[in-house]
A and B are shown apart, each in its own frame.
Chain A
């Protein structure tokens, strides 16, 4: 079925350390989107990747889409306390967007 696996479930890092979360689909995706949800908030769109092998950067965040369009990653360089929250990938299957389970990021200052 249409399912997106995301790991790790949880990561606790020291401020200044890097952080990476990974998503994988068993079937080819039309696109992948990334969202961030702060505690008590709602998911907020970060970025979309569409092309095979695409890499996009937003300041300290780097997003990659695999060559086979089945996996993706989000990497944060030198985490800050403002990065805390849950990061979700969402795989596009036609018009449907299926969310991964999310990775909860905690940053120790």
Chain B
């Protein structure tokens, strides 16, 4: 979908290193979501923001994960320290209204060795 840029596309890092994933919705939006996708767990909702405010972070695995949205056009997901089990594809997605479609970015494929 056009409208969401994620960077980097691929990230390979060693266990214990800090990883920062970035999401930049092109258009204005009200809701921003971070999902993680693995073969074992499928698409898991990690956290979502409404008007830049975190609303539900119950899906964040543990304290090693944190997410911020300093403004309406930028969000980050940080993992510190990273572990091999964090290896996954991380997607951000946005939508304008509570029940409108989600628009996904191309994802970041993270590999932690």
Contact = CB atoms under 8 A, between A and B. Distances in A.
Contacts of B104: 42-44
Contacts, number: 51
Contacts of B42: 99-102
Contacts of A97: 33, 45, 102
A45 B103 contact: yes
Interface of A: 30-31, 33, 35, 41-45, 48, 50, 88, 90, 92, 94-102
Interface residues of B, number: 22
Contacts of A95: 31, 48, 50, 55-56, 98
Contacts of B98: 94-95
A33 B45 contact: no
B102 A33 contact: yes
Interface of B: 1, 31, 33, 35, 42-43, 45, 48, 50, 55-56, 91, 93, 98-99, 101-107
B1 A42 contact: yes
B99 A43 contact: no
Given A42-B1, A42-B107, A44-B1, A98 B102 contact: no
